[in-house]
Amino acid sequence: MIKESDIKPLITENELQTEIKKLAEKLNEKYKDEEVYLICVLKGSVMFMADLAKHLKMPVKMEFIRLSSYGNGTSYSGKVNAVDIKLPDLNDKNVLIIEDIIDTGHTAKFLVDFLNHNFRFKDLKFCALLDKKVKRAANINADYYCFEVDDKFVVGYGLDVEGLYRNLPYIGYVEV
């Protein structure tokens, strides 16, 4: 089991909050007074979405879905599982997918393809806290992201290792 002392700091709490505020400013400018649905990919994105939403000035509705591609491990399982996807009618709506990290891109592509198959959006954008471009295998990119990270197993601020350390106010990494 990984102990908190095994986690090396990567992004401080202050750096996280500064970049999230900058992202919110961009989104406020883009959407102005238009209604936006935030779709939070559970569980890792909850802290990011909550902090981002605090700075959004447009009318916001929040929805939650649960996907899985890691199971209990530290590497991509090769399969995306739709654990829980129940959404309202999103036709002709502005939708912003909120994800903690895009690494291989398989989960992001699965979700975007699923949504595009089921709805016709006014606007659909993908927003990630972290973008791990060095691991990209699927043809997808974040429309918005706060930080680009190297090929490290990141943990904290919603991201976990074996279900632990989501509650850390910063992002660190562990050697795996």
> What are the DSSP calls for 16-47, one per residue?
HHHHHHHHHHHHHHHHTTS-EEEEEEETTTHH
Return phi, psi of residue 130, to 5°: -120, 140
- The pLDDT value given to residue 111: 92
Six-digit token string for 49: 């979405």
CA distances, 93 to each of 8, 18, 27, 77 (Å): 41, 28, 15, 32
Burial class (CB in 10 A: 0-12, 13-18, 19+), 152: middle
Q: Residue 90: how many CB atoms within 10 A of its CB?
A: 19
- The pLDDT value given to residue 175: 86
Low-confidence ranges of the chain (pLDDT < 70): 69-78, 81-84
Q: Are 97 and 119 in contact (CB under 8 A)?
A: no
pLDDT in tens, 60-100: 999 999 887 655 555 555 677 666 688 999 999 999 999 99
Domain residue spans in the chain?
4-174
Percent of the chain with pLDDT over 90: 83
Burial class (CB in 10 A: 0-12, 13-18, 19+), 23: buried
Q: Domain 4-174 belongs to what architecture?
A: 3-Layer(aba) Sandwich (3.40)
Q: Are 174 and 159 in contact (CB under 8 A)?
A: no
Q: In the annotation, is 103 catalytic?
A: yes
Which of 51, 100, 103, 160 does the annotation list as catalytic?
Answer: 103
pTM of the model: 0.90
